[in-house]
Structure 1
Amino acid sequence: MDIDFDEITYLKNPDSLVLKADYIQFLMTLTGPTVIDITGSDQGKCRVFTTLLHGNEPSGLIAMHRWLTANEQLPVPTTNVRFIICSVEAANISPLFSRRYLDGGKDINRCFSGDKIADCGFCQRALLIEQAIKEVNPEFLVDLHNCAGSGPAFAVTPMITPEVLSITSYFCQTLILSGLQLGALMERRFDCPMITVKCGGSNDEQSHHVAYQGLKQLTLNKQAKNFQQNRAVDIIYRPLRLELKPHTCLTYGDHDEGVTGVCIKSNIEQLNFGISRKDQMLGWLDDKGLDNFVLIDEHGNDVIRDHFSCRKNILTCAVDLRIFMATNNESIALNDCLFYVVKV
């Protein structure tokens, strides 16, 4: 697929002819990253929502399209609103919403790093998206995603402020403070409160509802700062990513089949956001044991043995852990991570 990395389409107050009858028809009319601007009561201010940084995470697009097509039934938004739809080509590959990014391409949410832009088309696209955010000087930025596997909604932020807590509360009750440097959009500086919302599983109708309700309330809220929290928010501090070492084989199963590499229990998603107690069984390992993994802390140290243990080739928790974004999607696990983890 030929991609014009300099292309970004701007639409202003699109009507029903442009938006089509449903979000799938609308998506299929798009040829690349698309910015949609909606005029609000206070045209001197703007609130920004991004979605489809990953082509297999549709809840943000579904919520945006629902909001746009219901707009005549809703009050005028308090401020201007800018929606940015990012990885359109990946989302459009059949079957729709099946690809995180294009085959042979890059994960654009790993491309928001200035030192990579010169020789990378996807990084050039990341720069266009970054510029589309900065040019409206937003009151806040919300980046809508889905979880890699099934699980409850949560939010992630690089900095906790009262405004961040308030914005989070309109989507979910869990906020993760992350200092990880992966090249994600949320690592850039926009001089405003910003969160990434993982709305839940991509095939879960509740995830689309979470995205829509939060979006609707935040576009109509009279205050961008100092507005009342919608619910109490729990904070999780600085999770770590459990990753496989390069060229490690990965399978999923319900019992030990003696395969090379790592075999993770097929029901691993059931552990998302619960407490996994010490000695909880997670899977099976070959004779390399824990050397199949890396778990790097904020100081650059591999702390795999502080969190996990291997006894008679069985992978277990070494301490009580909270696991989230666990997935049985082999592609995501291999190319991103198996899951995130924090000590309880």
Structure 2
Amino acid sequence: MSIDFNEINYLQDPDQNHLKADYDQFLMSISGPTVIDISGKDQSRTRVITTLIHGNESSGLIAIHRWLTAIDSTSRPVTNLRFIFCSPEAASKSPRLSHRILPGGMDLNRCFGKDIDYGYFKRAQIIEQAVLDVSPEVVVDLHNTSGFSPAFSVSTAKNEMALSLTSLFCQSLVLSDIRLGALMEQDFGCEAITIECGSSEDAQSHEVAFMGIDKLASYDDISCCHHKLNVDIYLKPLRLRLKPDVELSYSCIDEGRDGLTLCNNIEQHNFGVIRANQMLGWVDDHGLNNLQVIDTSGVDVINTYFALRDNQLVSKVDLDIFMATKNQDIAKSDCLLYLVPQKFKL
């Protein structure tokens, strides 16, 4: 598929003809990054919602389309809303909503904040500019988790707005100092937050996205919404990653495979506690050398958090984990899971 990385399309208060009968038809009607602007009651303020940075994360698309087709002249949002659909090419490639990125492409959410003026980096710059152009009040980036998981948010800073935005969608906030080139990490002059709505295969995830959008559109002052809901905070997440060229498999028993074999039920532990000495899987003769946990100073701290019991991979300390996945492509190219020591949960 040929991509025009300089393309971006704008729609102002689109009618049903533009929105089509359902989200699938709408997706197929847009050819590149698409901005939809909705006029609010207070047109001096704008809130931005982005989605489809990854083409297989459908909850944002489904929820935004549902919300757009439900509003009328009597139910305008309290402020202007700008919706940005970032990678419709990946989302529309057959089978639709199954490709995180196009074959041979790059992860767009690793391309933001880079001074590179071509390809996916150029697209990231265009999307950044589309956000900056409206001097947003807040930015919410909608995603799905790579495995089955409760919804949670990710922010780079602990403040009232991060807590409030989280509470519109869910009740768990991860405060991350990891820098990967994500949209959420950019300075838009306001709070920018990622909402991981849960698995794209779970209808509840679409509902999480829709209800959050509806609240974001309805509340005039969102700065203290968290007082209505207790928000759990997880500090300083780290990523458990495979080293290059290490094999990965999943099983309920040790089958003596090369590399790492994770337990089949690993996704069930998302936002649960892995206790000290609890087994996560099995490794071959290379042991912990198959794995790495790089901290913010660039040091591999795998031995701080994991150990071997014979060839079993076990946790050394109590850990909260999230984003554990059985999607091999994502697990190998990105990470196996994120971890937060229990002492860093507030």
| TM-score, normalising length: structure 1 | 0.97
Residues in 2 aligned to 1:111 and 1:66: alpha-carbon distance in whole angstroms: 29
Shift of 1:263: 0.8
On the 8 A contact 2:142/2:197 being kept in 1, the answer is yes
Residues in 2 aligned to 1:268 and 1:209: alpha-carbon distance in whole angstroms: 24
Matched residue type, 1:100: R
Shift of 1:225: 3.2
Shift of 1:143: 0.4
Matched residue type, 1:318: K
Shift of 1:114: 2.0
SS of residue in 1 equivalent to 2:228: coil
> 1:39 and 1:335, CA in 2 relative to 1: closer, same or farther beyond 3 A?
same
Correspondence 1:154-193 to 2 at 5 A: 154-193=152-191
Shift of 1:230: 3.4
On the 8 A contact 1:32/1:88 being kept in 2, the answer is yes
On the 8 A contact 1:75/1:220 being kept in 2, the answer is no
Deviates more, 1:37-46 or 1:228-237: 228-237
Matched residue type, 2:30: L
Deviations 1:297-328 (A, max 9, x none): 12221110111111211111111111111000
On the 8 A contact 2:163/2:226 being kept in 1, the answer is no
Residue 280, structure 1, aligned to residue 271, structure 2: no
Correspondence 1:42-61 to 2 at 5 A: 42-61=42-61
SS of residue in 2 equivalent to 1:35: strand
Picking from 231, 237, 248, the partner of 2:246 is 248
SS of residue in 2 equivalent to 1:114: coil
Residues in 1 aligned to 2:74 and 2:311: alpha-carbon distance in whole angstroms: 58
> Equivalent residue for 2:69?
69
> Equivalent residue for 2:86?
86
Residues in 2 aligned to 1:221 and 1:78: alpha-carbon distance in whole angstroms: 7
Shift of 1:167: 1.2
Residues in 1 aligned to 2:221 and 2:74: alpha-carbon distance in whole angstroms: 18
> Equivalent residue for 1:219?
217
SS of residue in 1 equivalent to 2:196: strand
Deviations 1:262-308 (A, max 9, x none): 11111110110111111111111011101111101122211101111
Residues in 2 aligned to 1:3 and 1:127: alpha-carbon distance in whole angstroms: 15
On the 8 A contact 1:285/1:313 being kept in 2, the answer is yes
On the 8 A contact 2:237/2:338 being kept in 1, the answer is yes
> Equivalent residue for 2:113?
113
Residues in 1 aligned to 2:276 and 2:223: alpha-carbon distance in whole angstroms: 41
Residues in 2 aligned to 1:245 and 1:80: alpha-carbon distance in whole angstroms: 45
Correspondence 1:131-170 to 2 at 5 A: 131-170=129-168
Residues in 2 aligned to 1:237 and 1:245: alpha-carbon distance in whole angstroms: 25
> Equivalent residue for 2:296?
298
5+ residue gaps, structure 2, are none
> 1:231 and 1:248, CA in 2 relative to 1: closer, same or farther beyond 3 A?
same
On the 8 A contact 1:170/1:229 being kept in 2, the answer is no
Matched residue type, 2:98: S
Residues in 2 aligned to 1:227 and 1:210: alpha-carbon distance in whole angstroms: 16
On the 8 A contact 2:142/2:194 being kept in 1, the answer is yes
Deviations 1:93-123 (A, max 9, x none): 11111111011010000001323x23x4001
Matched residue type, 2:174: I
Residues in 2 aligned to 1:154 and 1:73: alpha-carbon distance in whole angstroms: 32
Matched residue type, 1:102: L
On the 8 A contact 1:140/1:224 being kept in 2, the answer is no
Residues in 1 aligned to 2:74 and 2:57: alpha-carbon distance in whole angstroms: 26
Matched residue type, 1:103: P
> Equivalent residue for 1:237?
235
Runs of 4+ in 1 over 2 A off after TM superposition: 224-230
On the 8 A contact 1:166/1:230 being kept in 2, the answer is no
Count of aligned residue pairs for this structure pair = 342
Matched residue type, 1:113: G
| TM-score, normalising length: structure 2 | 0.97
Matched residue type, 2:61: L
Residues in 1 aligned to 2:173 and 2:73: alpha-carbon distance in whole angstroms: 32
Shift of 1:226: 4.2
Deviations 1:127-177 (A, max 9, x none): 000000000000000000011100100000011111111111010110010
Matched residue type, 1:252: Y
Residue 37, structure 1, aligned to residue 37, structure 2: yes
Matched residue type, 1:202: S
> 1:2 and 1:289, CA in 2 relative to 1: closer, same or farther beyond 3 A?
same
Deviations 1:70-94 (A, max 9, x none): 0128621111100000110111111
Shift of 1:228: 5.7
On the 8 A contact 2:294/2:300 being kept in 1, the answer is yes
On the 8 A contact 1:263/1:283 being kept in 2, the answer is yes
